[in-house]
Chains A and B, each alone.
Chain A
C-alpha cells in the first residue's frame, strides 16, 4: 500500500476546482454538494407535506365537510405522513450526515461517492411517483401511512405506484446507510478512535445500522401487499389462511425502529450544540454512546405497542408494555446528560442553542406522552385518537424538525460561509415554538376526549380545540416560509456577515478546523489529530 501520504494536511491547493453548472449537481460526487441536494430536496418535501397538513387542518377547522371529500381527506392524511417521514425527515438527516460526517471524522469524502449520488437521485423518481399519485385514477393511496392490509387491497393503481416508490426509497436508504457506516468505520482520520468520535457520528452509525436492519423488512411487507393485490397470494387474507395482523407485525417491526431512525441523529445534533453554547464539554460522553445503543437495541422488541388494540394475549401486552417503558431509561439518560452539560456552564443563547433547549423541553413532553401511551390500559382509551397524533408530532416536529433547525443554524456558517441573521433566527425560533404548541397541545385534549384520528369530520364538542389547532398550524407554516425566505435564502446567496473558521467560541470538532465555507475538498489526506481527536495539529 502506497497509501501513506504526503501529509501537508488539509486545505492544500487543489487543482481540481468545483465543476460548474448543472453538471456539478446532477453528476455530483462531492459529499458537500450531495448533502446540499439532500437538504434542499427535504425542505421541498417539507413544504409539500406541510401544504397537505394545512389542507387537513383547513378541513378540520370546523365540523362538517367544507373543502375536501372524505376520500380526498384520507389521501391527504396518508400522503402527508408518507411524505413527511420518507421525503422530509429521513432525507434531511441524510443530508446532515453527508455534509458533516466526512468533515467531523477527517475523511476526504463518503466511502462510495458515486453510490452516494445514486442514493440521492433515486429519491427523485420515487418522490415524483408519490406526489404524482394524486393525479392517478382513484387518487393517491388512502390507507394511512401505515398502509394496513386489507384496506390497501381496496386501493386503486396509485397504491402500486406508492409501493414501488417505497421500494426505491428503501433501496436509497439502504445504500445511503451502507455508505455512512463504511465511511465511519473505515475512513476516520488516524487517532480518532470510536470512543473519541463526535456524538453526531455515533448516532448516525447506529441509525444507519437500524436502517439496514429494518428497511428490507418494510420492503418485504409491501411486496406481500403487492402480490396480494395482483397475484392472488393470501398473506393478509384470512380466506386463504393469511392474517391482516401479520402485516401489522411486519410493518411495526420496521415502524418502531423507524421512529428512532428519525430521532437518533437529532440527539446527535443536540449533543454538539449544547456543549458549544454552554462552553463546557458534553457530560457523560460514554453513557451517551451506551444510551444510544440501548435505545437501538430495545427498539427491536417494542413494536407491538402500536397494536395493543388488535387483541393480543395478556402476556404479549405485558411484554411489550414493559419493554416500551424501559426505553424511557436510556432516553432519560440523554436528557439528564444534556442538562448536566448546561449545569455550571457559561451559557449564551444564539439561535442554535435556543432550538436545542426548545428541543429538550418539548421533546421530553412528547417522550412522556409516549410513556403514557405505552401503558396498555391507557392506550385502550387513546389508541388511534388525536392523543397519538399529538404525541408523535411532539417527538417528530419538536424533536426531529427542531433539531434540524438547530443544526442548520449551527452549521450554516460552515456551509455557506456567512452567518445567518441572528435577529431573524430568534424570531423564527419563538414564532415556531409558540405556534407549534398552539397547534399540537390542544390535540392532547381532543385525543383524551376521544376524537379519533384520520377523521374528516367530528362531533361538535371537538370544534373549539380543532379550530385552535388549525390556526396554530397556519402560523406554524408561515414561520417556516419566513425561515426559508429570510434566513435560508439570504445565507445561500452569501448575504450576511462573513464567517470565520470557527464562529462559535467553544464549538469542538474537526469541522471547525477547516475554513468557512468549507472548501470543495477537505482532508484529502488524513489530518494529524491531537489526543482528543478534536483538533488538527499538522
Chain B
C-alpha cells in the first residue's frame, strides 16, 4: 500500500499486494525440478527447466515493469533510492563471497591438494605422481590416477589479454556514459551505453571462441582434472555474470532511449554500473590468478 495518499511522493512507498513473487517462485520450482531431473538424464527435465525459466522471466518482466512504472510515476522518494543503493551493495558482497568459494578452491588445489598428492607420504598411494601444476600437462605429469588426458594450459596470450582490454575499455565507456547522463547529454549517454553493451557481447564471443579452441585444440576440458575444473568453473561463472551484467546494461540502455532516468535520479543506471565494475574486478582477479599464475 502506498503509505499516504496525499502528497505526491510517499515517505516510503510500500507496494500493493502483488502476485509476482509467488508466481516467480512457482517458475523457479519448475526450474529446479527440471534441472534436478535433467542432470540425471530424465527427458522431461529439460522441458520443465525451460518452461520454468520462460515463466520466471515473464514474471520478472512484469515485476520490473511495475517497479519501473512506480519509479517513473514518482513514487520512489529519497529513502527508496537509498534502500536500492544499500541492497545493491550487499548483493554484490554476496557475489564476492560466491566467487570467493571458487577462488579458494583454486588456491586449495594449488597450494594443498596437488602438492600433498605428490608428497612422500602419498607416494604410498600414487607412486608415479609428480606434483606439478597443472595436474596433467602434456608430457609432464599424470593426474594421480591417470584419469586425465594430457592437455595444454591456457596462457594469457592473446585471447584473455584481449578480453581484459575489452572489459577495461567497457568500464571506461560506461563511466563516460554516466558522466554524460549527469551532464544531461542523453545522446552521448545512449551512444556510449550501446558501445558498452557491444563490448560485453564481444567479450562473450571471444570467451566462447576461447572455450572452443581449448576444447578442440588443447584438449582442455571440464574433465581435465582439478585444473580444468577450476578453470572452467571460474571463467564460466564469470562469463555468466558478464552475460547478466550485459543484460542489465541493455535494459538500462533501452530505458534511456525511452526517456527514463534524469540527470540526478538514475539509480537503476548506477546499480547496473556497479555490477559491471564488480564483474570487471573479478575478471582482473581471474586474469592474474587463473591465466598468469
Contacts and interface: CB of A to CB of B under 8 A. Distances in A.
A–B contact with Cβ pairs below 8 Å: the answer is yes
Nearest to A208: B90
Contacts of B262: none
B1 interface: yes
Contacts of A245: 113
B1 A217 contact: no
Interface size class of B (residues with CB under 8 A): 35 or more
Given A108-B12, A122-B25, A129 B36 contact: yes
A239 interface: yes
A148 interface: no
Contacts of A229: 39
Contact of A226 (B14, B39, B87, B227): B39
Contact of B94 (A111, A212, A253): A212
Contacts of B77: 1-3
Interface string B92-116: 0111011011101100110011101
Contact of A240 (B7, B29, B98, B225): B225
A168 B28 contact: yes
A345 interface: no
B223 A232 contact: yes
A114 B20 contact: yes
Contacts of A327: none
Interface stretch (B139-147, B169-177, B245-253, B280-288): B139-147
Given A1-B9, A157-B37, A227-B222, A220 B101 contact: yes
A212 B101 contact: no
B4 interface: yes
B124 interface: no
Given A2-B8, A213-B93, A238 B117 contact: yes
Contacts of B105: 220, 224, 235, 246, 250
Nearest to A247: B105
Contacts of A238: 113, 117, 144-145
A27 B18 contact: yes
B147 A239 contact: yes
A77 interface: no
Interface in B31-77: 32-33, 35-37, 39-40, 42, 63, 77
Contacts of A524: 3-4, 11
A29 B15 CA distance: 7
Nearest to B31: A164
Contacts of A161: 32-33, 36
A216 to B, nearest CB: 4
Interface string A159-192: 0110111011000001001110110011100000
Nearest to A226: B39
B137 to A, nearest CB: 12
Given A112-B87, A240-B147, A240-B225, A3 B233 contact: no
A3 B21 contact: no
B92 to A, nearest CB: 10
Contacts of B32: 125-126, 129, 161, 164-165, 167-168
A234 interface: yes
B21 A115 contact: yes
Interface string A456-482: 000000000000000000000000000
Contacts of B37: 157
B81 to A, nearest CB: 9
B85 to A, nearest CB: 9
Contact of A234 (B15, B36, B102, B226): B226
Query: Which A-B residue pairs are the 6 nearest by beta carbons?
Result: A220-B101, A125-B29, A239-B145, A243-B113, A121-B25, A232-B223
Given A1-B77, A118-B25, A233-B226, 16 more contacts: A2-B9, A6-B7, A14-B1, A109-B12, A160-B36, A161-B33, A219-B101, A220-B102, A232-B222, A234-B148, A239-B143, A242-B225, A246-B108, A246-B109, A246-B112, A525-B11
8 contacts: A4-B11, A113-B15, A121-B24, A121-B25, A129-B33, A216-B95, A220-B102, A234-B225
Interface of A: 1-6, 14-16, 19, 23-24, 26-30, 107-109, 111-118, 120-122, 124-126, 128-129, 157, 160-161, 163-165, 167-168, 174, 177-179, 181-182, 185-187, 212-217, 219-221, 223-224, 226-235, 238-243, 245-246, 249-250, 253, 521, 524-526
